[in-house]
Chain A
Amino acid sequence: MSETITFTIDGVEVQGAPGQTILEAADAAGVYIPRLCKGEGLAPRTSCRVCTVMVNGRPQTACSYPISDGMVVENETEELMTFRKNIIDMLFIEGNHYCMFCEASGRCELQALAYRFGINAPKYPFMYPKRELDTSHPDVYIERNRCILCGRCVNASRDEDGKGIFEFIGRGSEKKIAVDSSRGLSGTDAAAADKAVEACPVGSLLPKHRGYDIPVGRRAYDAAPIGSDIERHRKERNNE
């Protein structure tokens, strides 16, 4: 078996190892492909569709699709950028995202993606859904208004914390995140230190008593767009 796999992303040759996904290989090569439901170290869920790329002309999710020799991947085409923007817009208008009082603002990956894509205002009308909070637990709370149904907490709680606290209930536009107790989060063994809490890309699953602990200006995406860390690899390599 060959040790390296060579393929292209937007015409640029990229090398990866057998078994890698497009996203993993692209990250290692310093090519940023936007993603949202794919959490660091978590199995891909392929639910948000933000990492949709064209593989040999067909849409696939970069977070799950395995690389192979000679594969032609399109990432930053005008069409794909429009689709991704539209999907980010959909996530904004589907929930109730009030960034100005959200504790996750500045480190929220949805917000950061919108910044990166230069979205000043979503193009779709807002839905203003009625959603429930779960503040029953002493240390952790669920703010469903901000939930983007990515499922990272589901995976992290099941695979990393070994607790299986979260799962989705309902379907379609009624789908929502639920917990493993009829008494809400307080009926579970959730803890503020759970990987599931850390995994939430937005301000939906948050530890209590922490508040706005990082000052504006020093938050994760205050200085540079999301993905800059990945792209830095490439710049550094090109400068070598």
Chain B
Amino acid sequence: MAKPKIATTSLAGCFGCHMSILDIDERLVDLIEVIDFDKSPIDDIKTFTDRCAVGLVEGGCANEENVDVLRSFREYCDILVALGGCAINGDIPSLRNTVPLEECIREAYFDGPSVYNPDGVIPNDKELPLLLDKVYPCSEVVKIDYSIPGCPPHAEAIWIVLNALLKGEPIEIPYEYMRYD
């Protein structure tokens, strides 16, 4: 029987949650015995090749591409997991949510203290995804089946949740790995 597949992605995140996935360390080898990675930066597969049992999403939605990717994850994954604070509540990227978008862009390309932009250009290529008015937690865009909190989540929490999901067992993150920071 084919091994179940797992997909992962980082939307508006810092890849810290993916570092935490790698922090599973040598048990990654055990993991590879029972699953395959599909679309994921871990194996650099860019598009879904198959239906996945579990999708791990890091980061919230800051731009239209994030929404697109998140919706494709929802479409291809049986179980969708919000991995880490940014996916759950926007976290650091959402610090911009109290500032109007136009002001954010002005600060980034003109007014910020470290900005060097003599031509006064705001990058605006068609390839650049448009920004959303604010950063949206994943659960506001699609239905999320499970959330693993933390910035980043503890590797042990990821390990425990993945194992439980793959075995269809009830999930319980032990207290010591239940962290928002």
Contact = CB atoms under 8 A, between A and B. Distances in A.
**Does A touch B (CB under 8 Å) in the complex?**
yes
Interface in B81-118: 82, 85, 88-92, 94-95, 97-98
Nearest to A105: B181
Interface residues of A, number: 26
A219 B134 CA distance: 33
B176 interface: yes
B178 A128 contact: no
B49 to A, nearest CB: 29
A106 B144 contact: no
Given A111-B180, A128-B97, A120 B91 contact: no
Interface string A136-170: 00000000000000000000000000000000000
B50 interface: no
A122 B89 contact: yes
Nearest to A111: B180
Main secondary structure of the interface of B (DSSP, over half): mixed
Given A120-B148, A121-B149, A100 B175 contact: no
Interface residues of B, number: 28
Given A105-B180, A106-B181, A225-B175, A121 B94 contact: no
A233 B148 CA distance: 32
Given A106-B181, A111-B180, A223-B176, A100 B151 contact: yes
A209 interface: no
Nearest to A128: B97
10 contacts: A92-B89, A98-B92, A100-B151, A111-B180, A114-B180, A115-B180, A120-B146, A126-B94, A126-B137, A131-B98
